[in-house]
Protein backbone atom coordinates (compact mmCIF):
# COMPACT_ATOMS: atom_id res chain seq x y z
CA UNK A 1 0.00 0.00 0.00
CA UNK A 2 1.25 3.50 -0.76
CA UNK A 3 1.13 6.15 1.96
CA UNK A 4 0.95 9.87 1.38
CA UNK A 5 3.09 11.70 3.90
CA UNK A 6 1.13 14.92 4.11
CA UNK A 7 2.87 17.16 6.61
CA UNK A 8 5.90 17.37 8.90
CA UNK A 9 3.84 18.75 11.76
CA UNK A 10 2.88 16.59 14.68
CA UNK A 11 1.63 17.51 18.12
CA UNK A 12 2.51 14.27 19.91
CA UNK A 13 6.29 13.64 20.08
CA UNK A 14 6.19 9.93 20.93
CA UNK A 15 9.71 8.78 21.89
CA UNK A 16 9.41 5.62 19.78
CA UNK A 17 8.09 7.33 16.63
CA UNK A 18 10.02 6.05 13.62
CA UNK A 19 9.37 9.29 11.76
CA UNK A 20 10.96 11.16 14.66
CA UNK A 21 14.18 12.05 12.87
CA UNK A 22 12.41 13.40 9.79
CA UNK A 23 9.98 15.32 11.95
CA UNK A 24 12.80 16.76 14.05
CA UNK A 25 14.74 17.88 11.00
CA UNK A 26 11.74 19.50 9.34
CA UNK A 27 9.57 20.46 12.27
CA UNK A 28 9.66 24.14 11.38
CA UNK A 29 9.08 23.58 7.71
CA UNK A 30 5.65 24.32 6.29
CA UNK A 31 6.44 22.08 3.36
CA UNK A 32 3.47 19.83 2.56
CA UNK A 33 2.45 17.31 -0.03
CA UNK A 34 0.26 19.50 -2.21
CA UNK A 35 -3.12 18.53 -3.62
CA UNK A 36 -1.70 19.36 -7.06
CA UNK A 37 1.10 16.83 -6.59
CA UNK A 38 -1.33 14.20 -5.32
CA UNK A 39 -3.54 14.78 -8.36
CA UNK A 40 -0.49 14.55 -10.63
CA UNK A 41 0.52 11.30 -8.94
CA UNK A 42 -2.93 9.73 -9.29
CA UNK A 43 -3.14 10.79 -12.93
CA UNK A 44 0.31 9.39 -13.66
CA UNK A 45 -0.59 6.06 -12.03
CA UNK A 46 -4.04 6.03 -13.69
CA UNK A 47 -5.55 5.77 -10.20
CA UNK A 48 -3.89 2.35 -9.97
CA UNK A 49 -3.84 2.22 -6.19
CA UNK A 50 -6.35 -0.01 -4.44
CA UNK A 51 -5.80 1.78 -1.17
CA UNK A 52 -3.81 4.74 0.03
CA UNK A 53 -2.76 5.61 3.56
CA UNK A 54 -2.67 9.20 4.71
CA UNK A 55 -0.09 9.91 7.37
CA UNK A 56 2.29 12.46 8.75
CA UNK A 57 3.30 13.89 11.04
CA UNK A 58 -0.30 14.31 11.95
CA UNK A 59 -2.79 14.30 9.05
CA UNK A 60 -5.25 16.37 11.10
CA UNK A 61 -2.71 19.23 10.94
CA UNK A 62 -2.70 19.08 7.14
CA UNK A 63 -4.80 21.94 5.78
CA UNK A 64 -6.33 20.09 2.82
CA UNK A 65 -7.26 16.77 4.38
CA UNK A 66 -10.95 16.85 3.44
CA UNK A 67 -10.06 17.79 -0.12
CA UNK A 68 -7.66 14.82 -0.42
CA UNK A 69 -10.19 12.39 1.06
CA UNK A 70 -12.79 13.54 -1.44
CA UNK A 71 -10.27 13.30 -4.28
CA UNK A 72 -9.49 9.69 -3.39
CA UNK A 73 -13.15 8.85 -2.91
CA UNK A 74 -14.02 10.27 -6.32
CA UNK A 75 -11.38 8.02 -7.82
CA UNK A 76 -12.64 4.94 -5.95
CA UNK A 77 -9.47 4.55 -3.91
CA UNK A 78 -9.87 3.31 -0.34
CA UNK A 79 -8.41 5.83 2.07
CA UNK A 80 -6.90 4.86 5.43
CA UNK A 81 -5.92 7.69 7.74
CA UNK A 82 -3.26 7.19 10.41
CA UNK A 83 -3.83 9.72 13.15
CA UNK A 84 -3.60 10.35 16.86
CA UNK A 85 -6.97 12.16 16.60
CA UNK A 86 -5.85 14.51 19.36
CA UNK A 87 -6.39 17.68 17.37
CA UNK A 88 -9.73 19.22 16.49
CA UNK A 89 -11.08 17.53 13.39
CA UNK A 90 -10.05 19.42 10.26
CA UNK A 91 -12.68 21.44 8.46
CA UNK A 92 -14.98 19.35 6.32
CA UNK A 93 -14.16 15.99 7.91
CA UNK A 94 -17.14 15.92 10.24
CA UNK A 95 -19.47 16.35 7.29
CA UNK A 96 -18.28 13.10 5.69
CA UNK A 97 -20.39 10.02 6.40
CA UNK A 98 -18.88 7.46 8.75
CA UNK A 99 -18.47 5.04 5.89
CA UNK A 100 -15.49 2.98 4.79
CA UNK A 101 -16.37 4.02 1.27
CA UNK A 102 -14.98 7.41 2.23
CA UNK A 103 -12.29 6.60 4.73
CA UNK A 104 -11.29 4.61 7.75
CA UNK A 105 -9.01 5.50 10.60
CA UNK A 106 -6.14 3.81 12.38
CA UNK A 107 -5.78 5.70 15.62
CA UNK A 108 -2.50 5.30 17.46
CA UNK A 109 -3.20 5.59 21.14
CA UNK A 110 -1.27 5.60 24.39
CA UNK A 111 -2.16 5.52 28.05
CA UNK A 112 -4.29 8.35 29.41
CA UNK A 113 -1.30 9.91 31.17
CA UNK A 114 0.37 10.60 27.81
CA UNK A 115 -2.38 13.07 26.82
CA UNK A 116 -3.15 16.64 27.83
CA UNK A 117 -6.80 17.13 28.79
CA UNK A 118 -7.64 19.00 25.59
CA UNK A 119 -5.99 16.30 23.47
CA UNK A 120 -7.99 13.59 25.19
CA UNK A 121 -11.21 15.54 24.74
CA UNK A 122 -10.47 15.78 21.02
CA UNK A 123 -9.83 12.06 20.88
CA UNK A 124 -13.10 11.28 22.64
CA UNK A 125 -15.03 13.62 20.41
CA UNK A 126 -13.49 11.97 17.37
CA UNK A 127 -14.46 8.48 18.57
CA UNK A 128 -18.02 9.59 19.23
CA UNK A 129 -18.29 10.69 15.63
CA UNK A 130 -16.29 8.04 13.77
CA UNK A 131 -16.21 4.96 16.02
CA UNK A 132 -17.68 2.72 13.32
CA UNK A 133 -14.74 3.28 11.01
CA UNK A 134 -11.95 3.49 13.58
CA UNK A 135 -9.52 0.83 14.75
CA UNK A 136 -6.78 1.32 17.31
CA UNK A 137 -3.10 0.87 16.82
CA UNK A 138 -0.73 0.44 19.68
CA UNK A 139 3.05 0.33 19.80
CA UNK A 140 4.82 -2.02 22.18
CA UNK A 141 7.40 0.16 23.85
CA UNK A 142 7.00 -0.05 27.61
CA UNK A 143 6.93 -3.73 28.49
CA UNK A 144 5.26 -2.98 31.80
CA UNK A 145 2.42 -0.91 30.39
CA UNK A 146 -1.07 -2.14 31.24
CA UNK A 147 -2.97 -2.60 27.95
CA UNK A 148 -6.40 -2.52 29.61
CA UNK A 149 -6.98 1.05 28.48
CA UNK A 150 -7.09 -0.17 24.87
CA UNK A 151 -9.87 -2.62 25.53
CA UNK A 152 -11.77 -0.13 27.66
CA UNK A 153 -11.56 2.38 24.83
CA UNK A 154 -12.87 -0.15 22.31
CA UNK A 155 -15.79 -1.12 24.53
CA UNK A 156 -16.64 2.42 25.55
CA UNK A 157 -16.73 3.81 22.02
CA UNK A 158 -17.68 0.61 20.16
CA UNK A 159 -14.60 0.73 17.98
CA UNK A 160 -13.46 -1.98 15.57
CA UNK A 161 -12.45 -5.02 17.65
CA UNK A 162 -9.04 -5.55 16.11
CA UNK A 163 -5.92 -3.74 17.23
CA UNK A 164 -2.93 -3.21 14.99
CA UNK A 165 0.08 -3.80 17.20
CA UNK A 166 3.49 -2.46 16.30
CA UNK A 167 6.77 -2.95 18.04
CA UNK A 168 8.97 0.11 18.64
CA UNK A 169 11.59 -0.10 15.88
CA UNK A 170 14.78 1.89 15.43
CA UNK A 171 15.31 4.48 12.76
CA UNK A 172 18.25 3.63 10.53
CA UNK A 173 21.32 5.11 12.23
CA UNK A 174 19.30 5.92 15.33
CA UNK A 175 17.20 8.83 16.53
CA UNK A 176 14.40 7.27 18.52
CA UNK A 177 13.78 4.83 21.34
CA UNK A 178 13.01 1.23 20.50
CA UNK A 179 12.85 -2.29 21.85
CA UNK A 180 16.37 -3.69 22.07
CA UNK A 181 17.03 -6.98 20.25
CA UNK A 182 17.86 -8.67 23.54
CA UNK A 183 14.39 -7.78 24.81
CA UNK A 184 12.47 -9.29 21.92
CA UNK A 185 11.62 -12.51 23.72
CA UNK A 186 10.37 -10.45 26.65
CA UNK A 187 8.40 -8.31 24.20
CA UNK A 188 6.93 -11.51 22.76
CA UNK A 189 5.76 -12.57 26.21
CA UNK A 190 4.29 -9.13 26.78
CA UNK A 191 2.44 -9.32 23.45
CA UNK A 192 0.98 -12.70 24.39
CA UNK A 193 -0.19 -11.29 27.70
CA UNK A 194 -1.91 -8.44 25.84
CA UNK A 195 -3.44 -10.85 23.31
CA UNK A 196 -4.87 -13.01 26.10
CA UNK A 197 -6.40 -10.04 27.88
CA UNK A 198 -7.81 -8.84 24.57
CA UNK A 199 -9.27 -12.26 23.76
CA UNK A 200 -11.14 -12.30 27.06
CA UNK A 201 -13.03 -9.32 25.70
CA UNK A 202 -13.37 -10.73 22.17
CA UNK A 203 -10.77 -8.37 20.78
CA UNK A 204 -8.06 -9.50 18.37
CA UNK A 205 -4.55 -8.08 18.38
CA UNK A 206 -2.74 -8.38 15.06
CA UNK A 207 0.89 -7.73 14.25
CA UNK A 208 2.25 -4.82 12.30
CA UNK A 209 5.72 -5.18 10.77
CA UNK A 210 8.93 -5.72 12.73
CA UNK A 211 7.98 -8.80 14.72
CA UNK A 212 10.31 -11.78 14.51
CA UNK A 213 9.24 -15.43 14.49
CA UNK A 214 11.93 -16.33 17.02
CA UNK A 215 10.33 -14.03 19.60
CA UNK A 216 8.01 -16.97 20.18
CA UNK A 217 8.31 -20.73 20.47
CA UNK A 218 5.96 -23.20 18.74
CA UNK A 219 3.55 -23.25 21.65
CA UNK A 220 3.37 -19.46 21.81
CA UNK A 221 2.83 -19.13 18.06
CA UNK A 222 0.12 -21.76 18.24
CA UNK A 223 -1.46 -19.88 21.11
CA UNK A 224 -1.48 -16.66 19.10
CA UNK A 225 -3.17 -18.45 16.20
CA UNK A 226 -5.79 -19.85 18.57
CA UNK A 227 -6.51 -16.37 19.90
CA UNK A 228 -7.13 -15.19 16.34
CA UNK A 229 -3.97 -13.09 15.94
CA UNK A 230 -2.67 -12.78 12.43
CA UNK A 231 1.04 -13.48 12.69
CA UNK A 232 3.16 -11.35 10.40
CA UNK A 233 6.92 -11.74 10.30
CA UNK A 234 7.46 -10.62 6.72
CA UNK A 235 7.98 -6.98 5.84
CA UNK A 236 5.18 -5.52 3.73
CA UNK A 237 7.52 -2.91 2.26
CA UNK A 238 5.61 0.36 2.60
CA UNK A 239 5.83 3.09 -0.01
CA UNK A 240 5.84 6.52 1.61
CA UNK A 241 5.35 9.45 -0.75
CA UNK A 242 6.13 12.88 0.66
CA UNK A 243 6.33 16.54 -0.40
CA UNK A 244 7.56 17.00 -3.95
CA UNK A 245 6.62 13.32 -4.51
CA UNK A 246 9.87 12.21 -2.90
CA UNK A 247 9.35 8.56 -2.11
CA UNK A 248 11.11 6.29 0.35
CA UNK A 249 10.82 2.76 1.59
CA UNK A 250 9.17 3.21 5.00
CA UNK A 251 10.19 5.59 7.76
CA UNK A 252 12.76 3.48 9.61
CA UNK A 253 14.78 3.32 6.38
CA UNK A 254 14.19 6.94 5.35
CA UNK A 255 17.91 7.71 5.72
CA UNK A 256 18.74 5.36 2.85
CA UNK A 257 17.55 7.86 0.29
CA UNK A 258 14.60 8.24 -1.94
CA UNK A 259 13.32 8.19 -5.49
CA UNK A 260 10.70 10.30 -7.20
CA UNK A 261 7.30 8.66 -7.47
CA UNK A 262 7.03 9.84 -11.08
CA UNK A 263 10.02 7.65 -12.01
CA UNK A 264 7.74 4.60 -12.11
CA UNK A 265 4.42 3.96 -13.82
CA UNK A 266 2.82 1.59 -11.36
CA UNK A 267 2.98 0.57 -7.74
CA UNK A 268 4.89 -2.63 -8.46
CA UNK A 269 7.65 -0.84 -10.37
CA UNK A 270 7.86 1.85 -7.72
CA UNK A 271 8.34 -0.85 -5.08
CA UNK A 272 11.15 -2.36 -7.15
CA UNK A 273 12.85 1.02 -7.46
CA UNK A 274 12.68 1.52 -3.72
CA UNK A 275 13.94 -1.95 -2.98
CA UNK A 276 16.91 -1.31 -5.27
CA UNK A 277 17.54 1.93 -3.40
CA UNK A 278 17.61 0.10 -0.08
CA UNK A 279 19.70 -2.74 -1.52
CA UNK A 280 22.45 -0.26 -2.46
CA UNK A 281 23.14 0.16 1.23
CA UNK A 282 21.89 -3.03 2.81
CA UNK A 283 22.26 -5.60 0.03
CA UNK A 284 19.46 -7.99 -0.77
CA UNK A 285 19.69 -10.03 2.36
CA UNK A 286 17.20 -9.77 5.15
CA UNK A 287 17.73 -10.73 8.75
CA UNK A 288 19.04 -8.71 11.63
CA UNK A 289 20.68 -11.36 13.77
CA UNK A 290 23.65 -13.60 12.95
CA UNK A 291 21.46 -16.66 13.35
CA UNK A 292 18.99 -15.38 10.72
CA UNK A 293 21.32 -16.55 7.96
CA UNK A 294 20.62 -20.23 8.62
CA UNK A 295 17.15 -19.85 10.07
CA UNK A 296 14.53 -22.12 8.50
CA UNK A 297 11.86 -19.42 8.84
CA UNK A 298 14.03 -17.11 6.77
CA UNK A 299 14.75 -19.82 4.22
CA UNK A 300 11.04 -20.54 3.83
CA UNK A 301 10.17 -16.84 3.68
CA UNK A 302 8.07 -17.03 6.85
CA UNK A 303 10.14 -14.37 8.59
CA UNK A 304 12.49 -11.66 7.43
CA UNK A 305 14.22 -11.32 10.74
CA UNK A 306 12.67 -8.07 11.88
CA UNK A 307 13.19 -4.52 10.72
CA UNK A 308 16.24 -3.96 8.54
CA UNK A 309 16.86 -0.67 10.28
CA UNK A 310 18.58 -2.75 12.98
CA UNK A 311 21.44 -3.29 10.55
CA UNK A 312 22.78 0.16 11.30
CA UNK A 313 22.57 -0.24 15.06
CA UNK A 314 25.75 -1.41 16.72
Partner 1 sequence: MPNLMLTNYCNYRCSYCFGKDIMFPKSPRQTMTRDCFDGIVEWVKKGPSDRIFHLMGGEPTLNPDIDWMVARLLEEDMLTTIFSNLATPHAVELAKKIANLPIDWVVNVNNPAHWNDAQRKNITAALEILRERVSLTFNVMPDEDDSMWALEYTQRYHLNNNIKVGFLLPTYNQTNEALADNQYSIVAAKVTRLAQEAAKVDVHLDYECGIPTCAFTDEQLGILWHCGSTLQSGCQSRLDITPDGNVIYCLPLATLGMKHYTEFDSYNDSCIWFAQRFGPYRMLGRRIECATCNLNNAMACNAGCLAKNLIDCKNVKL
> Of the two residues 36 and 218, which places its CB atom closer to partner 1 in the complex?
218
From candidates 28, 144, 182, 300, binder to partner 1 by CB under 8 A:
300
Kindly state the smallest distance separating residue 234's Cβ from partner 1, in Å.
13
> Of the two residues 75 and 161, which places its CB atom closer to partner 1 in the complex?
161
Q: What distance separates the 2 farthest-apart alpha carbons in the chain? A: 54
- The footprint of partner 1 on residues 147-206 (CB under 8 A) is 199, 202-204
Of the candidates 33, 28, 39, the residue with the CA atom closest to the CA atom of residue 7: 33
Of the candidates 171, 188, 189, 169, the residue with the CA atom closest to the CA atom of residue 179: 169
> Of the two residues 87 and 162, which places its CB atom closer to partner 1 in the complex?
162
Kindly state the smallest distance separating residue 202's Cβ from partner 1, in Å.
6
Phi, psi of 153 (to 5 degrees): -65, -45
Kindly state the smallest distance separating residue 302's Cβ from partner 1, in Å.
8
Rg over CA atoms, the chain: 19
Kindly state the smallest distance separating residue 19's Cβ from partner 1, in Å.
31
Kindly state the smallest distance separating residue 219's Cβ from partner 1, in Å.
4
> Of the two residues 173 and 217, which places its CB atom closer to partner 1 in the complex?
217
Of the candidates 181, 250, 151, the residue with the CA atom closest to the CA atom of residue 209: 250
The set of long-range contacts for 124-127, using a CB threshold of 8 Å and a minimum separation of 24, is 124/157, 125/89, 126/85, 126/89, 127/85, 127/153, 127/157, 127/159
- The footprint of partner 1 on residues 201-240 (CB under 8 A) is 202-204, 216-223, 225-228, 231
Give the interface with partner 1 as residue ranges (CB under 8 A): 199, 202-204, 216-223, 225-228, 231, 300, 302
Amino acid sequence: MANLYLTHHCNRGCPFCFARKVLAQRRDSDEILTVEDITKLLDHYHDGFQAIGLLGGEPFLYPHLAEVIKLLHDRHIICKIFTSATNPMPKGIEEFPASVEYMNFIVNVGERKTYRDDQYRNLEHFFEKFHEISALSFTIFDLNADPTFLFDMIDKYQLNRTIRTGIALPIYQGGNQYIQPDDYKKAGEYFIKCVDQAAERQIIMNMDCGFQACMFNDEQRGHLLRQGSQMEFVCGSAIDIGPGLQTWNCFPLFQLGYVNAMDADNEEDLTKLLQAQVAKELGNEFGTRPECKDCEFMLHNKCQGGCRSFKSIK
